[in-house]
Amino acid sequence: MSGAAVDSMMRHTQEKEIRDAADTASRLAAIVASSTDGIVTKDLTGKITSWNPACQAMFGYTADEVLGKSITILYPKGTENEEEVVLEQIRRGQPVRLSEKERVRKDGTTIWVSVAASPLLDAAGHVTGAAAIKRDLTATRALTKEREDARERVQEIARLQDINRLKTQFINMAAHELWTPLVPLRTEVHLLLTSHTARPTASQKESLDVIGRSLERLATLVEDLLTVARSEAGHLGIQTQPIDLANVLIKALETFQTLANDRGIKLTVPRGVVINIVADPMRISQVLVNLLSNAFKFTPKGRRISVELEDEGENVRVSVVDTGAGIAKIDLPRLFTPFTQVHDTTQVTAPGSGLGLYICKQFIELHGGTIGADSPGKGNGSTFWFTLPKRGAPRTPVPDADWSHAALSKTRDPTHKELP
Amino acid sequence: MTSKNKTPAEPQATATIPAKPPQRKWVILLVDDEPEILRSLKKLMTQSLAGTQILTATSGRAGLEILERERVDLIMCDFKMPGMDGIEFLVQARRLRPAVPRIMFTAFADNDLAHRAVSEAIVSAFFPKSFGPTQMIDEIEALMRYNPELPSQQ
């Protein structure tokens, strides 16, 4: 081979090497430019020597703004000296991996990144700086946080369900244990008051009446607590059937007529109407009795209480309108929550359990209806109303013929007087 | 207790006298693990239901023993008892004396239990413990009146 040929071949080789090197450089540049990870190089003092578009997108600075400046402009205030540790490791030729580091954007907002920094070497193998790849973890962190939050919520729900179950168990057990002494107490007082062999003296009878009335109050409270416990455990049910609502209302009102006469209260009820609906007559009657008991409790002698029945097409509305104490606007929304009592110090009547209206709400809602109260304010009377869909609840429980026995599921009439 | 109380079934000594006087005594079996409840209810029924004889048992097992050897016209029992519970007792009582009506008397007056009492023990009635004395007597009287198997109808 001639010298010229060799020279030519050498030149070709060198040219190819140069071309290859240029190709490699442009390919790398393209990768750096198009990378979604931020790629930044810095010298051994921490000054930025290159800054790719992803860095600009990530931190908000253009290359012109950061070239020649210290990398610590990205560090949160007070953490700048951490860079010294990184540079020390780079100088020793060791790569640096940082996960979940907080950095600051140009606009001052926080960004979370992972950093992989590797030493840059010159031809002689000396460290001249570092190339760092920064990955934006903000989205990943948000997702992780969302997952953690979701997991926490699930745990919280399970915890609350546990508490609720325990609470229900506790109330059930407490109510059961309370009935055990209450049954003989009520029975014995009844026996003493009705005994034909040993009649109590007037003074003894007075005492027995007080005991009896207090026992009835206690019995109502225990029964209301049980009802709420059952409702919370999802055991409260209704037994619906086709009924004439007007007839159910008139029957429930009968027990109040005597009380109305005694107190000189004019009680008006709808007569001569028939409203056929699908509902649980016991529960509806219980709700009405509860609303009327309240009306009587807060209506002074000689005033008026009326029960109104309105046909609204799909629904029927029952209202108990009294001319009594009335309710302040602020108290209206709290009426149907458990253990709420709107106390009026001018009233001397015995308070109830604070559960009555809450229980009414449960029963009406089981029917797919709504319940509410309106009042023009203190001293101006109030209206308690409920609506019922005529065709019954959307998911009407199937009435079980076997246990529609008269005595079954019978609820205690709160106005029922156990004592003569 | 006075000597008069030893014959508490005297018709004139009761407030509620059935329209039709019974030919013989109604026998009611009460089962409850609480002796105080048993004692009070026995007194109430003896005083208020003319011509009744009350038998008591403090456990399901004791109740079954009574059923095996005595004639009984009505059974009323509690649900929550140690050992055999009320449903179990009533199921066995039904096997022994299918014609005798059964009443469940319980503080756990929820739909689930009522359903079990009806479907498993085929009870005639389910009394919540919130029933006061007057209401309980009224219900038992109604049950006795409408039950052709019972002595009041003979």
- Gyration radius of chain B's alpha carbons: 15
Average pLDDT, chain B: 81
* Contact: A412, B114; criterion CB under 8 Å: no
- ipTM of the complex in this document: 0.78
Residue by residue, what is the 3-state secondary structure of B12-49?
HHCCCCCCCCCCCCEEEEEECCCHHHHHHHHHHHHHHC
Interface contact B40-A188, CB threshold 8 A: yes
pLDDT value at residue A2: 67
Q: Which one, of A396, A370, A359, lies nearest residue A280 by Cα?
A: A396
Q: Per the CB < 8 Å rule, is A408 touching B130?
A: no
Q: Order across the sheet with A382-389: list the strands.
A: A266-268, A304-311, A315-322, A382-389, A370-374
CA A137 – CA A145 distance, rounded (Å): 12
State how far residue B75 is from chain A, nearest Cα, in angstroms.
Answer: 15
The tokens describing A179, both together, are: 């009935």
Q: Which residues contact A317 (CB under 8 A, 6 or more apart)?
A: A308, A309, A310, A385, A386, A387
Residues of A in contact with B107 (CB under 8 A): 175-176, 179-180, 226
Chain B: give the shortest CA distance to residue A237, in Å: 7
Residue B150's pLDDT band, with cuts at 50, 70 and 90, is: low
Per-residue pLDDT of chain A (420 residues), as tens digits, is 667 777 887 788 888 888 888 888 888 888 888 888 899 999 999 999 999 999 999 999 999 999 999 999 999 998 988 889 899 999 999 999 888 888 999 999 988 899 999 999 888 889 999 999 988 888 888 888 899 999 999 999 999 888 878 877 777 787 778 889 999 999 999 999 988 788 889 999 999 999 998 898 888 888 888 788 777 766 677 778 889 998 888 888 887 888 888 888 888 877 778 888 999 888 898 899 889 888 888 888 888 888 988 888 889 999 999 888 888 888 887 888 876 655 544 443 445 667 888 889 989 998 999 999 998 878 888 999 999 998 887 654 443 333 333 333 333 333 333 333
Angstrom distance (rounded) from CA B87 to CA B84 = 8
Q: Do A412 and B130 touch (CB under 8 A)?
A: yes
Contact between A191 and B36 using a beta-carbon 8 Å cutoff: no
Task: Reply yes or no on whether the pLDDT at B3 is more than 70.
Answer: no
Report the amino acid identity of residue A318.
V
- Check residue A249 and give its pLDDT: 87
Question: Which of the residues B111, B113, B136 would you substitute to probe the A interface, choosing the one with the greatest number of A C-beta atoms within 10 Å?
Answer: B111
Size of interface A-B (CB pairs under 8 A): 118
d(CA A277, CA A274): 10
In this predicted structure, what is the pLDDT of residue A395? 57
Q: Which residue has the higher pLDDT, B14 or A210?
A: A210
Q: Which has more confidence, A294 or B109?
A: A294
In this model, does residue B20 exceed pLDDT 60? no
Using the CB atoms, write b or e for A290-326: b if 16+ within 10 Å.
bbbbbbbbbbeeebebbbebeeeeebbebbbbbbbbb
| Per-residue tokens: B142 | 């109604």
Contacts of B108 in chain A (CB under 8 A): 172, 176
The percent of residues above 90 in pLDDT, for chain B, comes to 45
Q: Could you say which DSSP state residue A70 is in?
A: B
More confident residue, B47 or A342: B47
User: Cβ contacts (< 8 Å) between A416 and chain B: which residues?
Assistant: 132, 134-135
* Residues of chain B neighbouring A410 (CB-CB closer than 8 A): 128, 139
Best of B17, B47, B130 to mutate (most A CBs within 10 Å, chain A) = B130
**β-pairing, B26-31 with B52-57?**
parallel
Asked if B37 and A180 come within 8 Å (Cβ–Cβ), the reply is: yes
What are the residues of chain A with a beta carbon less than 8 Å away from any beta carbon of chain B?
Answer: 172, 175-176, 179-184, 186-188, 190-191, 194-198, 216, 219, 222-223, 226, 230, 233, 235-237, 400, 402-403, 405-413, 416, 418
Contact A181 B128 (CB under 8 A): no
Residue A92: what residue type?
A: R
Tell me which of A172, A190, A239, A286 to substitute to probe the interface with B (most B C-beta atoms closer than 10 Å).
A190
- Tokens of residue B69, six digits: 């050897």
A170 three-class SS: helix
CA of A310 vs chain B CAs: smallest distance (Å) = 32
Calculate the CA B3 to chain-centre distance.
Answer: 26
Could you tell me the end-to-end alpha-carbon distance of chain A, in angstroms, rounded to an integer?
137
8 Å CB contact between A351 and A343:
yes
